[in-house]
Amino acid sequence: MNISAEGLVDAAQYMASPNCDQRPRGTAIELVVIHNISLPPGVFGGAAVIDLFLNRLDPAAHPYFADVAALRVSAHFFVRRDGALLQFVPCTMRAWHAGQSMWNGRERCNDFSIGIELEGADDVAYSEAQYAGLGKLAGALYARYPIVASVGHSDIAPGRKTDPGPHFAWPRYFQHVTKNN
């Protein structure tokens, strides 16, 4: 898996999200933030997550969508249950995934992080294909950028966020990262 100078991953299907902007000048990419998402909650597959990140989610398509369709959010990557990798924002750009957040005393984690969404929910185990795909991606990110840590969304926004949830196996993740770095 290779990452271009522009921050695009050759193994990912790229769909440009408008929900991004420039990172602050001179800011290094130091953090991987792992999230989970499913739309509607607990429903996997389909195009709803893609549509959310591309600002085309139909609020009338499902009752839950009425509350989230107007959000302007994104992540750099989305890993589906089968391990398929999608990219919405180049790594060199700031994706809008972390919201109000803090890590090691630094606020605004979007400025210095890569956001990876796993297709999932807090109460559902992740698939082996997801761990394998996530490990390959994270290994490539660690090799390309001066990343010093991987954290969950819950770690940088405690009390506000709970993902990737108790079913995310951190040792399994790091085993895959080490194998691919």
pTM of the complete model: 0.97
Which SS3 state, helix, strand or coil, does residue 17 take?
coil
CA distance 61 to 51: 11
Q: Where are the alpha helices (DSSP H) in the chain?
A: 48-53, 65-68, 128-144, 153-156, 170-179
Task: Give the catalytic positions in this structure.
Answer: 117
Q: Is the dihedral of CA 45, 70, 8, 132 positive or negative?
A: negative
pLDDT for 161 equals 96
Selection from 53, 58, 90, 88 nearest residue 72 by Cα: 53
Three-state DSSP class for 94? strand
Q: pLDDT value at position 97? A: 97
Choose among 179, 150, 143, 170: nearest CA to 34: 150
Instruction: List domains and CATH numbers for the chain.
Output: 13-179 (3.40.80.10)
pLDDT at 72: 97
- CA distance from start to end of the chain: 11
pLDDT of residue 44: 97
The first and second tokens of residue 117, run together, are: 């969404």
Digit-coded pLDDT (tens) for 59-105:
999 999 999 999 999 999 999 999 999 999 999 999 999 999 999 99
What pLDDT does 176 receive? 87
Residue type, 59: P
d(C-alpha 164, C-alpha 60), whole Å? 28
pLDDT tens-digit series, residues 150-175: 999 999 999 999 999 999 999 999 99
Residue type for 104, please?
Answer: N
Summarised one tens digit per residue, pLDDT across range 18-72 is 999 999 999 999 999 999 999 999 999 999 999 999 999 999 999 999 999 999 9
